[in-house]
Structure 1
Protein backbone atom coordinates (compact mmCIF):
# COMPACT_ATOMS: atom_id res chain seq x y z
CA UNK A 1 0.00 0.00 0.00
CA UNK A 2 1.27 3.48 -0.87
CA UNK A 3 2.45 5.68 1.97
CA UNK A 4 0.37 8.83 2.51
CA UNK A 5 2.37 12.06 2.80
CA UNK A 6 1.06 15.51 3.68
CA UNK A 7 3.00 18.50 2.33
CA UNK A 8 1.95 21.94 3.59
CA UNK A 9 2.41 24.93 1.31
CA UNK A 10 2.50 22.73 -1.80
CA UNK A 11 1.36 25.29 -4.37
CA UNK A 12 4.78 26.86 -5.03
CA UNK A 13 8.48 26.91 -4.17
CA UNK A 14 10.02 24.06 -2.20
CA UNK A 15 6.59 22.66 -1.33
CA UNK A 16 5.52 22.18 -4.94
CA UNK A 17 8.86 20.61 -5.87
CA UNK A 18 8.75 18.29 -2.86
CA UNK A 19 5.15 17.22 -3.52
CA UNK A 20 5.85 16.57 -7.21
CA UNK A 21 9.02 14.60 -6.42
CA UNK A 22 7.26 12.38 -3.90
CA UNK A 23 4.29 11.86 -6.21
CA UNK A 24 6.64 10.84 -9.05
CA UNK A 25 8.24 8.30 -6.72
CA UNK A 26 5.02 6.47 -5.97
CA UNK A 27 3.78 8.16 -2.81
CA UNK A 28 0.19 9.29 -2.30
CA UNK A 29 0.67 13.02 -1.73
CA UNK A 30 -1.82 15.44 -0.23
CA UNK A 31 -0.78 19.06 -0.58
CA UNK A 32 -2.19 22.11 1.16
CA UNK A 33 -2.81 25.64 -0.01
CA UNK A 34 -4.88 28.60 1.10
CA UNK A 35 -6.61 28.36 -2.29
CA UNK A 36 -6.52 24.71 -3.40
CA UNK A 37 -9.13 25.28 -6.12
CA UNK A 38 -6.62 27.55 -7.86
CA UNK A 39 -3.98 24.81 -8.18
CA UNK A 40 -5.84 21.50 -7.95
CA UNK A 41 -6.16 20.97 -11.70
CA UNK A 42 -2.48 21.75 -12.39
CA UNK A 43 -0.78 19.30 -10.02
CA UNK A 44 -0.66 15.46 -9.96
CA UNK A 45 -1.73 15.22 -6.33
CA UNK A 46 -4.74 16.06 -4.16
CA UNK A 47 -4.90 19.59 -2.74
CA UNK A 48 -6.92 20.61 0.33
CA UNK A 49 -7.40 23.95 2.04
CA UNK A 50 -5.21 25.04 4.95
CA UNK A 51 -4.46 28.56 6.17
CA UNK A 52 -1.76 28.69 8.85
CA UNK A 53 -3.06 32.09 9.95
CA UNK A 54 -6.60 30.85 10.60
CA UNK A 55 -7.45 29.09 13.87
CA UNK A 56 -10.66 27.79 12.33
CA UNK A 57 -8.86 26.37 9.29
CA UNK A 58 -6.26 24.60 11.44
CA UNK A 59 -8.74 23.28 14.03
CA UNK A 60 -10.91 21.62 11.36
CA UNK A 61 -7.99 20.48 9.24
CA UNK A 62 -7.46 17.02 10.75
CA UNK A 63 -11.08 16.05 10.15
CA UNK A 64 -10.90 17.20 6.53
CA UNK A 65 -7.60 15.41 5.98
CA UNK A 66 -8.77 12.04 7.29
CA UNK A 67 -11.84 12.16 5.08
CA UNK A 68 -9.37 11.92 2.19
CA UNK A 69 -7.08 9.21 3.63
CA UNK A 70 -7.45 6.46 6.28
CA UNK A 71 -4.03 7.13 7.84
CA UNK A 72 -1.05 9.45 7.47
CA UNK A 73 2.52 8.17 7.31
CA UNK A 74 4.52 11.39 6.97
CA UNK A 75 3.94 15.08 7.68
CA UNK A 76 6.14 17.57 5.83
CA UNK A 77 5.91 21.07 7.29
CA UNK A 78 6.87 23.51 4.57
CA UNK A 79 4.32 26.37 4.52
CA UNK A 80 5.56 29.83 5.49
CA UNK A 81 6.71 33.17 4.15
CA UNK A 82 9.59 35.64 4.42
CA UNK A 83 9.75 39.07 6.02
CA UNK A 84 12.84 40.83 4.65
CA UNK A 85 14.27 44.14 5.77
CA UNK A 86 16.35 45.92 8.37
CA UNK A 87 15.12 44.72 11.77
CA UNK A 88 14.48 48.18 13.22
CA UNK A 89 12.42 49.19 10.18
CA UNK A 90 10.05 46.24 10.34
CA UNK A 91 6.80 47.01 12.18
CA UNK A 92 6.39 44.79 15.23
CA UNK A 93 3.05 43.56 13.90
CA UNK A 94 4.71 42.32 10.71
CA UNK A 95 7.47 40.67 12.74
CA UNK A 96 4.85 39.05 14.96
CA UNK A 97 3.02 37.77 11.88
CA UNK A 98 6.25 36.14 10.71
CA UNK A 99 6.44 34.15 13.95
CA UNK A 100 2.69 33.45 14.00
CA UNK A 101 2.80 31.88 10.54
CA UNK A 102 6.18 30.22 10.30
CA UNK A 103 6.48 29.04 13.91
CA UNK A 104 3.08 28.92 15.60
CA UNK A 105 1.22 27.91 12.43
CA UNK A 106 3.61 25.00 11.92
CA UNK A 107 3.29 23.91 15.56
CA UNK A 108 -0.51 24.06 15.45
CA UNK A 109 -0.65 21.91 12.30
CA UNK A 110 1.79 19.42 13.84
CA UNK A 111 -0.37 19.21 16.97
CA UNK A 112 -3.44 18.34 14.90
CA UNK A 113 -1.57 15.37 13.44
CA UNK A 114 0.17 14.10 16.59
CA UNK A 115 -2.89 12.33 18.12
CA UNK A 116 -3.20 10.21 14.97
CA UNK A 117 0.53 9.44 14.93
CA UNK A 118 0.47 8.44 18.61
CA UNK A 119 -2.60 6.29 18.07
CA UNK A 120 -1.07 4.39 15.15
CA UNK A 121 2.34 4.21 16.92
CA UNK A 122 4.32 5.41 13.93
CA UNK A 123 4.91 8.49 11.80
CA UNK A 124 7.53 10.87 10.53
CA UNK A 125 7.61 14.65 10.85
CA UNK A 126 9.91 16.49 8.43
CA UNK A 127 10.11 20.27 8.75
CA UNK A 128 11.70 22.56 6.18
CA UNK A 129 13.82 25.04 8.11
CA UNK A 130 16.63 27.16 6.70
CA UNK A 131 20.34 27.70 7.06
CA UNK A 132 19.39 31.04 8.66
CA UNK A 133 17.78 29.00 11.43
CA UNK A 134 21.32 28.01 12.32
CA UNK A 135 23.42 30.96 11.17
CA UNK A 136 21.61 34.32 11.01
CA UNK A 137 22.27 36.93 8.33
CA UNK A 138 21.35 40.63 8.09
CA UNK A 139 18.03 41.71 6.58
CA UNK A 140 16.13 38.57 7.67
CA UNK A 141 16.04 38.93 11.46
CA UNK A 142 12.43 37.82 11.99
CA UNK A 143 12.65 35.05 9.42
CA UNK A 144 15.84 33.79 11.11
CA UNK A 145 14.10 34.00 14.49
CA UNK A 146 11.18 31.89 13.22
CA UNK A 147 13.53 29.25 11.81
CA UNK A 148 15.70 29.22 14.95
CA UNK A 149 12.50 28.66 16.95
CA UNK A 150 11.47 25.70 14.78
CA UNK A 151 14.92 24.16 15.18
CA UNK A 152 14.72 24.33 18.98
CA UNK A 153 11.12 23.13 19.19
CA UNK A 154 11.50 20.09 16.98
CA UNK A 155 14.81 19.18 18.58
CA UNK A 156 12.96 18.81 21.88
CA UNK A 157 9.94 17.12 20.27
CA UNK A 158 12.21 14.46 18.76
CA UNK A 159 12.95 13.12 22.26
CA UNK A 160 9.34 13.29 23.44
CA UNK A 161 8.01 11.27 20.49
CA UNK A 162 10.69 8.60 20.44
CA UNK A 163 8.67 6.09 22.48
CA UNK A 164 5.81 6.34 19.97
CA UNK A 165 8.06 5.41 17.02
CA UNK A 166 7.60 8.89 15.54
CA UNK A 167 10.69 10.27 13.80
CA UNK A 168 11.43 14.01 13.69
CA UNK A 169 13.82 15.61 11.19
CA UNK A 170 14.72 19.06 9.89
CA UNK A 171 15.74 20.00 6.34
CA UNK A 172 18.07 23.03 6.40
CA UNK A 173 18.45 24.52 2.89
CA UNK A 174 20.99 27.20 1.98
CA UNK A 175 20.29 29.75 -0.80
CA UNK A 176 18.35 28.32 -3.75
CA UNK A 177 16.68 29.82 -6.80
CA UNK A 178 13.08 30.08 -5.57
CA UNK A 179 10.39 32.76 -5.59
CA UNK A 180 10.61 33.37 -1.83
CA UNK A 181 12.13 36.84 -2.24
CA UNK A 182 9.52 37.81 -4.85
CA UNK A 183 6.74 36.83 -2.43
CA UNK A 184 8.36 38.37 0.66
CA UNK A 185 6.94 41.16 2.81
CA UNK A 186 9.11 44.16 3.62
CA UNK A 187 8.76 47.48 5.50
CA UNK A 188 7.48 50.59 3.73
CA UNK A 189 9.11 53.22 5.93
CA UNK A 190 12.90 53.26 5.62
CA UNK A 191 15.38 54.75 8.09
CA UNK A 192 17.97 56.89 6.29
CA UNK A 193 20.78 55.85 8.63
CA UNK A 194 20.63 52.36 7.11
CA UNK A 195 20.76 53.45 3.44
CA UNK A 196 24.43 52.60 3.00
CA UNK A 197 24.05 49.19 4.64
CA UNK A 198 20.88 48.55 2.63
CA UNK A 199 22.76 48.96 -0.66
CA UNK A 200 25.51 46.60 0.50
CA UNK A 201 22.95 44.01 1.59
CA UNK A 202 21.19 44.29 -1.78
CA UNK A 203 24.48 43.69 -3.62
CA UNK A 204 25.35 40.78 -1.31
CA UNK A 205 21.87 39.24 -1.81
CA UNK A 206 21.98 39.61 -5.60
CA UNK A 207 25.34 37.84 -5.75
CA UNK A 208 24.00 35.10 -3.49
CA UNK A 209 20.91 34.57 -5.67
CA UNK A 210 23.03 34.57 -8.84
CA UNK A 211 25.16 31.71 -7.60
CA UNK A 212 22.28 29.82 -5.96
CA UNK A 213 21.61 26.20 -6.87
CA UNK A 214 18.57 24.52 -8.43
CA UNK A 215 15.95 23.96 -5.67
CA UNK A 216 15.26 20.46 -7.01
CA UNK A 217 18.21 19.42 -4.82
CA UNK A 218 16.06 20.17 -1.75
CA UNK A 219 13.25 17.93 -3.03
CA UNK A 220 15.80 15.15 -3.58
CA UNK A 221 17.07 15.57 -0.01
CA UNK A 222 13.52 15.34 1.34
CA UNK A 223 12.91 12.17 -0.67
CA UNK A 224 16.06 10.67 0.83
CA UNK A 225 14.89 11.51 4.38
CA UNK A 226 11.43 10.07 3.59
CA UNK A 227 13.06 6.82 2.48
CA UNK A 228 15.46 6.62 5.45
CA UNK A 229 14.54 4.61 8.50
CA UNK A 230 15.36 6.64 11.63
CA UNK A 231 16.79 9.69 9.81
CA UNK A 232 19.18 12.05 11.56
CA UNK A 233 17.64 15.21 12.99
CA UNK A 234 19.50 17.87 11.00
CA UNK A 235 19.77 17.46 7.22
CA UNK A 236 21.57 20.39 5.65
CA UNK A 237 21.55 20.90 1.89
CA UNK A 238 23.24 23.35 -0.45
CA UNK A 239 26.63 24.80 -1.31
CA UNK A 240 28.79 25.80 1.62
CA UNK A 241 26.37 24.63 4.30
CA UNK A 242 28.84 22.29 5.98
CA UNK A 243 31.39 25.07 6.20
CA UNK A 244 28.82 27.44 7.68
CA UNK A 245 27.72 24.96 10.33
CA UNK A 246 31.31 24.18 11.30
CA UNK A 247 32.06 27.88 11.55
CA UNK A 248 28.99 28.38 13.71
CA UNK A 249 30.03 25.69 16.15
CA UNK A 250 33.77 26.28 16.28
CA UNK A 251 34.53 29.79 15.13
CA UNK A 252 31.46 32.01 14.97
CA UNK A 253 33.66 35.09 15.13
CA UNK A 254 35.28 34.13 11.82
CA UNK A 255 31.87 33.73 10.19
CA UNK A 256 30.80 37.11 11.50
CA UNK A 257 33.94 38.73 10.10
CA UNK A 258 33.35 37.11 6.70
CA UNK A 259 29.77 38.40 6.52
CA UNK A 260 30.83 41.89 7.57
CA UNK A 261 33.67 41.77 5.05
CA UNK A 262 31.17 41.01 2.27
CA UNK A 263 28.92 43.88 3.38
CA UNK A 264 31.82 46.30 3.56
CA UNK A 265 33.10 45.66 0.03
Structure 2
Protein backbone atom coordinates (compact mmCIF):
# COMPACT_ATOMS: atom_id res chain seq x y z
CA UNK A 1 0.00 0.00 0.00
CA UNK A 2 1.30 3.46 -0.92
CA UNK A 3 2.27 5.79 1.92
CA UNK A 4 0.32 8.80 3.19
CA UNK A 5 2.35 11.98 2.78
CA UNK A 6 1.76 15.47 4.15
CA UNK A 7 3.38 18.32 2.20
CA UNK A 8 3.23 21.84 3.58
CA UNK A 9 3.29 24.77 1.18
CA UNK A 10 1.76 22.74 -1.66
CA UNK A 11 0.19 25.67 -3.48
CA UNK A 12 3.28 26.52 -5.56
CA UNK A 13 6.94 25.75 -6.21
CA UNK A 14 8.53 22.54 -4.93
CA UNK A 15 5.46 21.65 -2.88
CA UNK A 16 2.95 21.77 -5.72
CA UNK A 17 5.19 19.86 -8.14
CA UNK A 18 6.05 17.22 -5.54
CA UNK A 19 2.46 16.74 -4.36
CA UNK A 20 1.17 16.41 -7.92
CA UNK A 21 3.83 13.90 -8.91
CA UNK A 22 3.32 11.77 -5.78
CA UNK A 23 -0.45 11.81 -6.25
CA UNK A 24 -0.04 10.67 -9.85
CA UNK A 25 2.22 7.85 -8.60
CA UNK A 26 -0.51 6.54 -6.31
CA UNK A 27 0.50 8.02 -2.96
CA UNK A 28 -2.15 9.48 -0.68
CA UNK A 29 -1.17 13.15 -0.56
CA UNK A 30 -2.37 15.88 1.77
CA UNK A 31 -1.19 19.38 0.88
CA UNK A 32 -1.46 22.62 2.80
CA UNK A 33 -2.00 26.24 1.87
CA UNK A 34 -3.15 29.35 3.69
CA UNK A 35 -5.98 29.59 1.14
CA UNK A 36 -6.76 26.05 -0.09
CA UNK A 37 -10.17 26.96 -1.51
CA UNK A 38 -8.42 28.98 -4.22
CA UNK A 39 -6.55 25.89 -5.43
CA UNK A 40 -7.77 23.37 -8.00
CA UNK A 41 -5.52 20.34 -7.53
CA UNK A 42 -6.08 16.57 -7.74
CA UNK A 43 -5.01 15.94 -4.13
CA UNK A 44 -6.56 16.94 -0.79
CA UNK A 45 -5.68 20.45 0.43
CA UNK A 46 -6.13 21.70 4.00
CA UNK A 47 -5.76 25.19 5.45
CA UNK A 48 -2.58 25.94 7.40
CA UNK A 49 -0.81 29.15 8.36
CA UNK A 50 2.52 28.37 10.04
CA UNK A 51 2.64 31.83 11.62
CA UNK A 52 -0.63 31.21 13.49
CA UNK A 53 -0.62 28.85 16.49
CA UNK A 54 -4.38 28.35 16.40
CA UNK A 55 -4.19 27.44 12.70
CA UNK A 56 -1.61 24.75 13.47
CA UNK A 57 -3.81 23.24 16.19
CA UNK A 58 -6.94 23.37 14.01
CA UNK A 59 -5.05 21.83 11.11
CA UNK A 60 -3.80 18.91 13.21
CA UNK A 61 -7.32 18.11 14.39
CA UNK A 62 -8.66 18.31 10.83
CA UNK A 63 -5.83 16.24 9.35
CA UNK A 64 -6.64 13.12 11.34
CA UNK A 65 -10.27 13.29 10.32
CA UNK A 66 -9.05 12.43 6.83
CA UNK A 67 -6.25 9.95 7.60
CA UNK A 68 -5.56 7.29 10.23
CA UNK A 69 -1.81 7.11 9.71
CA UNK A 70 0.83 9.60 8.54
CA UNK A 71 3.95 8.08 7.01
CA UNK A 72 5.88 11.13 5.82
CA UNK A 73 5.90 14.81 6.74
CA UNK A 74 7.54 17.08 4.15
CA UNK A 75 8.19 20.48 5.72
CA UNK A 76 8.25 22.73 2.67
CA UNK A 77 6.23 25.85 3.54
CA UNK A 78 8.00 29.17 3.99
CA UNK A 79 8.91 32.35 2.18
CA UNK A 80 11.93 34.40 1.15
CA UNK A 81 12.76 37.75 2.76
CA UNK A 82 15.39 39.62 0.76
CA UNK A 83 17.27 42.74 1.75
CA UNK A 84 20.46 43.94 3.33
CA UNK A 85 20.62 43.09 7.02
CA UNK A 86 20.67 46.65 8.36
CA UNK A 87 17.86 47.71 6.03
CA UNK A 88 15.59 44.90 7.23
CA UNK A 89 13.46 45.77 10.23
CA UNK A 90 13.64 43.55 13.29
CA UNK A 91 9.90 42.97 12.96
CA UNK A 92 10.40 41.66 9.42
CA UNK A 93 13.21 39.44 10.67
CA UNK A 94 11.05 38.09 13.49
CA UNK A 95 8.25 37.26 11.06
CA UNK A 96 10.70 35.42 8.78
CA UNK A 97 11.86 33.25 11.69
CA UNK A 98 8.29 32.86 12.98
CA UNK A 99 7.18 31.28 9.72
CA UNK A 100 10.23 29.49 8.33
CA UNK A 101 11.67 28.25 11.62
CA UNK A 102 9.18 28.41 14.49
CA UNK A 103 6.16 27.52 12.34
CA UNK A 104 7.97 24.47 10.96
CA UNK A 105 9.00 23.40 14.47
CA UNK A 106 5.54 23.93 15.96
CA UNK A 107 3.91 21.83 13.24
CA UNK A 108 6.53 19.09 13.61
CA UNK A 109 6.00 19.02 17.38
CA UNK A 110 2.23 18.85 16.85
CA UNK A 111 2.66 15.70 14.75
CA UNK A 112 5.44 13.97 16.71
CA UNK A 113 3.05 12.18 19.14
CA UNK A 114 1.39 10.47 16.17
CA UNK A 115 4.76 9.38 14.73
CA UNK A 116 5.92 8.10 18.13
CA UNK A 117 2.70 6.14 18.60
CA UNK A 118 3.26 4.49 15.22
CA UNK A 119 6.95 3.87 16.00
CA UNK A 120 7.58 4.75 12.38
CA UNK A 121 7.73 7.67 9.98
CA UNK A 122 9.85 10.19 8.12
CA UNK A 123 10.32 13.93 8.52
CA UNK A 124 11.87 15.57 5.46
CA UNK A 125 12.51 19.30 5.65
CA UNK A 126 13.25 21.49 2.65
CA UNK A 127 16.00 23.81 3.78
CA UNK A 128 18.34 25.69 1.47
CA UNK A 129 21.98 25.81 0.50
CA UNK A 130 21.74 29.14 2.38
CA UNK A 131 21.36 27.06 5.52
CA UNK A 132 24.95 25.91 4.97
CA UNK A 133 26.60 28.96 3.38
CA UNK A 134 24.71 32.23 3.13
CA UNK A 135 24.75 35.01 0.55
CA UNK A 136 24.40 38.80 0.80
CA UNK A 137 20.89 40.26 1.01
CA UNK A 138 19.49 37.12 2.65
CA UNK A 139 20.56 37.42 6.30
CA UNK A 140 17.25 36.48 7.91
CA UNK A 141 16.27 33.88 5.32
CA UNK A 142 19.67 32.23 5.75
CA UNK A 143 19.33 32.48 9.54
CA UNK A 144 15.98 30.67 9.40
CA UNK A 145 17.48 27.88 7.29
CA UNK A 146 20.62 27.60 9.48
CA UNK A 147 18.30 27.28 12.49
CA UNK A 148 16.37 24.44 10.85
CA UNK A 149 19.63 22.60 10.15
CA UNK A 150 20.66 22.78 13.80
CA UNK A 151 17.26 21.81 15.15
CA UNK A 152 16.72 18.79 12.93
CA UNK A 153 20.29 17.54 13.41
CA UNK A 154 19.48 17.22 17.10
CA UNK A 155 15.98 15.83 16.56
CA UNK A 156 17.38 13.11 14.31
CA UNK A 157 19.25 11.61 17.28
CA UNK A 158 16.26 11.88 19.60
CA UNK A 159 13.80 10.13 17.28
CA UNK A 160 16.07 7.28 16.23
CA UNK A 161 14.77 4.88 18.87
CA UNK A 162 11.22 5.37 17.53
CA UNK A 163 12.27 4.47 13.97
CA UNK A 164 11.45 8.01 12.82
CA UNK A 165 13.92 9.16 10.16
CA UNK A 166 14.87 12.84 9.87
CA UNK A 167 16.42 14.36 6.74
CA UNK A 168 17.16 17.77 5.22
CA UNK A 169 17.18 18.76 1.53
CA UNK A 170 19.30 21.83 0.73
CA UNK A 171 18.56 23.11 -2.78
CA UNK A 172 20.62 25.60 -4.72
CA UNK A 173 18.64 28.17 -6.76
CA UNK A 174 15.89 26.62 -8.91
CA UNK A 175 13.01 28.06 -10.92
CA UNK A 176 10.11 28.28 -8.46
CA UNK A 177 7.79 31.04 -7.31
CA UNK A 178 10.00 31.91 -4.35
CA UNK A 179 11.17 35.26 -5.77
CA UNK A 180 7.81 36.39 -7.13
CA UNK A 181 6.28 35.60 -3.70
CA UNK A 182 9.14 37.15 -1.71
CA UNK A 183 9.18 40.17 0.59
CA UNK A 184 11.78 42.96 0.60
CA UNK A 185 13.40 45.02 3.32
CA UNK A 186 11.23 48.00 4.19
CA UNK A 187 13.90 50.68 4.61
CA UNK A 188 16.76 51.96 2.46
CA UNK A 189 20.06 53.42 3.71
CA UNK A 190 21.83 55.69 1.24
CA UNK A 191 25.28 54.39 2.12
CA UNK A 192 24.27 51.01 0.65
CA UNK A 193 22.86 52.34 -2.65
CA UNK A 194 25.79 51.24 -4.83
CA UNK A 195 26.21 47.86 -3.16
CA UNK A 196 22.46 47.21 -3.15
CA UNK A 197 22.29 47.88 -6.89
CA UNK A 198 25.07 45.37 -7.55
CA UNK A 199 23.46 42.77 -5.30
CA UNK A 200 20.08 43.13 -7.01
CA UNK A 201 21.65 42.64 -10.45
CA UNK A 202 23.76 39.73 -9.16
CA UNK A 203 20.69 38.02 -7.66
CA UNK A 204 18.57 38.59 -10.76
CA UNK A 205 21.29 37.06 -12.91
CA UNK A 206 21.48 33.96 -10.68
CA UNK A 207 17.73 33.32 -10.64
CA UNK A 208 17.31 33.94 -14.38
CA UNK A 209 19.89 31.22 -15.01
CA UNK A 210 18.39 28.80 -12.48
CA UNK A 211 17.45 25.30 -13.69
CA UNK A 212 14.07 23.62 -13.42
CA UNK A 213 13.38 22.01 -10.00
CA UNK A 214 13.28 18.38 -11.17
CA UNK A 215 16.46 17.33 -9.24
CA UNK A 216 14.95 18.57 -5.97
CA UNK A 217 11.70 16.70 -6.54
CA UNK A 218 13.58 13.51 -7.43
CA UNK A 219 15.74 13.82 -4.30
CA UNK A 220 12.73 14.12 -2.02
CA UNK A 221 11.04 11.15 -3.67
CA UNK A 222 14.19 9.06 -3.18
CA UNK A 223 14.18 9.98 0.51
CA UNK A 224 10.53 8.96 0.78
CA UNK A 225 11.35 5.58 -0.78
CA UNK A 226 14.62 5.02 1.14
CA UNK A 227 14.19 2.85 4.24
CA UNK A 228 17.15 4.46 6.01
CA UNK A 229 17.88 7.93 4.57
CA UNK A 230 20.90 9.97 5.60
CA UNK A 231 20.52 13.51 6.97
CA UNK A 232 21.90 16.13 4.57
CA UNK A 233 21.12 16.30 0.84
CA UNK A 234 22.43 19.37 -1.03
CA UNK A 235 20.92 19.57 -4.52
CA UNK A 236 22.11 21.52 -7.55
CA UNK A 237 25.22 22.25 -9.57
CA UNK A 238 28.20 22.33 -7.21
CA UNK A 239 25.99 21.71 -4.16
CA UNK A 240 27.91 18.62 -3.04
CA UNK A 241 30.99 20.81 -2.53
CA UNK A 242 29.28 23.19 -0.12
CA UNK A 243 29.67 21.01 2.97
CA UNK A 244 33.43 20.81 2.35
CA UNK A 245 33.67 24.52 1.52
CA UNK A 246 31.80 25.37 4.71
CA UNK A 247 34.53 23.83 6.85
CA UNK A 248 37.72 23.88 4.81
CA UNK A 249 37.59 26.59 2.16
CA UNK A 250 35.24 29.35 3.32
CA UNK A 251 37.62 32.13 2.24
CA UNK A 252 37.61 30.74 -1.31
CA UNK A 253 33.81 30.84 -1.33
CA UNK A 254 33.76 34.36 0.12
CA UNK A 255 36.24 35.66 -2.46
CA UNK A 256 34.23 34.07 -5.28
CA UNK A 257 31.01 35.81 -4.17
CA UNK A 258 32.75 39.19 -3.86
CA UNK A 259 34.34 38.78 -7.30
CA UNK A 260 31.03 37.91 -8.96
CA UNK A 261 29.14 40.76 -7.28
CA UNK A 262 31.78 43.25 -8.38
CA UNK A 263 31.18 42.31 -12.01
CA UNK A 264 28.02 44.41 -11.76
CA UNK A 265 29.09 48.06 -11.69
1:103 aligns with 2:92: no
Conserved? CA contact 2:6–2:70, under 8 Å:
yes
- Corresponding residue number in structure 2 for 1:132: 130
d(CA) in 2 for partners of 1:4 and 1:27? 6
Mapping of residues 95-174 of structure 1, within 5 Å: 95-174=93-172
Q: Which runs of 4+ in 1 moved over 3 A?
A: none
Deviation per CA, 1:153-177: give whole Å up to 9, x if none.
0000000000000000001000001
- Corresponding residue number in structure 1 for 2:222: 224
- Corresponding residue number in structure 2 for 1:33: 33
- SS at structure 2 position matched to 1:168: strand
Deviation per CA, 1:186-213: give whole Å up to 9, x if none.
1232111111111111121122112211
Deviation per CA, 1:47-75: give whole Å up to 9, x if none.
01111111111122221100001110000
- Corresponding residue number in structure 2 for 1:13: 13
Deviation per CA, 1:198-246: give whole Å up to 9, x if none.
1111121122112211012211111111011110100111111123332
Which is worse superposed, 94-103 or 216-225? 216-225
TM-score (norm 1): 0.97
d(CA) in 2 for partners of 1:171 and 1:141? 20
d(CA) in 2 for partners of 1:233 and 1:23? 25
Alignment partner of 2:233 out of 232, 235, 241: 235
TM-score (norm 2): 0.97
Conserved? CA contact 1:61–1:112, under 8 Å:
no
Please list every run of 5 or more consecutive structure 1 residues that lacks an aligned counterpart in the other structure: none
Aligned residue pair count: 263
Conserved? CA contact 2:89–2:187, under 8 Å:
no
Please list every run of 5 or more consecutive structure 2 residues that lacks an aligned counterpart in the other structure: none
- SS at structure 2 position matched to 1:88: helix
